């Protein structure tokens, strides 16, 4: 899109339904300012019924966007309606980042990259493990399973209240992934070097069940993809039991990096100031 001075100004969006609580505009707004880029990134609410039309307008350029992020409940439809999904989004059946190339909508999913980048930053060496335990088998756990597998972790135990959902993921993600009922949690945790909570347990301060983390390997890392509150009840328990913990906020920040680079041409960094901006926003809207 051209502005009045005939220079290119890129405009990106985050779309979901609802979308008003998204923190992505704060993240991208921080980087746009940091680089002095005259672009924009804004929340754009689109209902599920209107989403196909939104994708058509994006492709035709009439929406005025060069790309953007897609969140709940549009991630699956964004993948299906994109023209050039990459291998990551293809395997997940869901996309969170879109951009235009030659009038085609390209799609990827950056959640897994955000997940591992957060661990790399805050628990360096976390990947020198052979076994991981992932609690939960919903949409959010898929990208985590994929990323942990692609990092080379040999055995990934997916534990879920509804075992059939865990089994679906084991079938989807191949031999490294095994499905288990909740009753097997303690057993499969034995000797594992990474524990990931991908369920909504303990979200927004709700009570979470007590988990005995002691079967994990000494020095194991426990992380939660929920970041409200920053220290979830599960993370608090794990810390009290002597394990290394990593909160989920970094995943949100790091998943935003590849999209920004696509739309605005600069690779941004996740720094402490950005982290604090989001934490302050969480406090304001607590």
Q: Residues within the annotated binding site for NADP(+)? A: 87, 136-140, 160-165, 225, 248
Structure tokens at 262: 């696509």
The answer to whether the Cα torsion of 227, 134, 160, 186 is positive or negative is: negative
For ligand ATR, the closer CB: 193 or 202? 202
CB 211 to ligand ATR: min, Å:
11
For ligand ATR, the closer CB: 39 or 248? 248
- The 3-state DSSP class for residue 8 equals strand
Q: x/- site string to ligand ATR, residues 224 to 243, per CB under 6 A? A: --------------------
Determine the interface stretch with ligand ATR among 23-31, 80-88, 157-165, 229-237 (rule: CB under 6 A).
157-165
For residue 60, the tally of other CB atoms under 10 A from its CB is 10
- For Cα atoms 133, 137, 140, give the angle at the middle one, nearest 5 degrees: 95
CB 136 to ligand ATR: min, Å:
4
Which residue reads 């992505």 in tokens?
A: 24
The residue number with the shortest CB distance to ligand ATR is 138
Determine the interface stretch with ligand ATR among 78-86, 144-152, 154-162, 265-273 (rule: CB under 6 A).
154-162
Judge contact between 14 and 22, C-beta under 8 A: yes
Closest CA to 219 of 150, 144, 151, 123: 123
* Residue 167 binding ligand ATR, by CB under 6 A: no
Among 47, 130, 162, 190, binds ligand ATR (CB under 6 A): 162
Among 138, 152, 174, 265, binds ligand ATR (CB under 6 A): 138
CB 222 to ligand ATR: min, Å:
17
Among 89, 97, 131, 160, binds ligand ATR (CB under 6 A): 160
Which residue reads 């030659």 in tokens?
A: 102
d(CA 107, CA 206): 35
* Residue 186 binding ligand ATR, by CB under 6 A: no
Judge contact between 156 and 145, C-beta under 8 A: yes
* Residue 140 binding ligand ATR, by CB under 6 A: yes
| Phi-psi sector, 140: left (phi>0), alpha (psi -120 to 50), beta | alpha
Judge contact between 153 and 130, C-beta under 8 A: yes
Tell me the DSSP string of 43-58. Answer: E----GGGHHHHHHHH
**Active site annotation includes 75:** yes
* Residue 197 binding ligand ATR, by CB under 6 A: no
Instruction: Enumerate the active-site residues.
Output: 75
Q: Which residues in this chain contact ligand ATR in the complex, by CB under 6 A?
A: 136-141, 160-162, 165, 198-201
């Amino acid at each position: 899109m051209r502005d009045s001075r005939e220079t290119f100004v890129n405009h990106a969006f985050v779309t979901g339904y609802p979308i008003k609580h998204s923190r992505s505009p704060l993240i991208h707004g921080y980087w746009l300012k940091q680089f002095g880029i005259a672009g924009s990134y804004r929340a754009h609410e689109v209902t599920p019924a209107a989403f196909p039309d939104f994708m058509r307008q994006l492709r035709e350029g009439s929406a005025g966007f060069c790309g953007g992020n897609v969140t709940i409940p549009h991630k699956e439809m964004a993948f299906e309606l994109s023209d050039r999904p990459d291998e990551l989004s293809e395997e997940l059946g869901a996309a969170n980042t879109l951009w235009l190339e030659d009038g085609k909508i390209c799609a990827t999913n950056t959640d897994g990259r955000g997940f591992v980048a957060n661990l790399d930053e805050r628990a360096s060496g976390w990947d020198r493990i052979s076994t991981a335990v992932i609690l939960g088998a919903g949409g959010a756990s898929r990208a985590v399973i994929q990323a942990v597998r692609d990092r080379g972790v040999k055995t990934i135990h997916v534990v879920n209240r509804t075992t059939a959902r865990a089994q679906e993921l084991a079938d989807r993600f191949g031999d490294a992934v095994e499905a288990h009922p909740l009753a097997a949690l303690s057993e499969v945790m034995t000797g594992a070097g990474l524990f990931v909570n991908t369920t909504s347990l303990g979200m927004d301060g709700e009570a979470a069940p007590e988990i005995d983390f002691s079967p994990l390997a000494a020095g194991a890392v426990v992380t939660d993809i929920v970041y409200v509150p920053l220290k979830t009840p599960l993370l608090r328990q794990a810390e009290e039991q002597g394990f290394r913990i990593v909160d989920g906020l970094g995943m949100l920040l790091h998943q935003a990096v590849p999209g920004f680079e696509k739309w605005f041409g600069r690779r941004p960094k996740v720094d402490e100031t950005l982290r604090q901006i989001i934490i302050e926003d969480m406090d304001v809207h607590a």
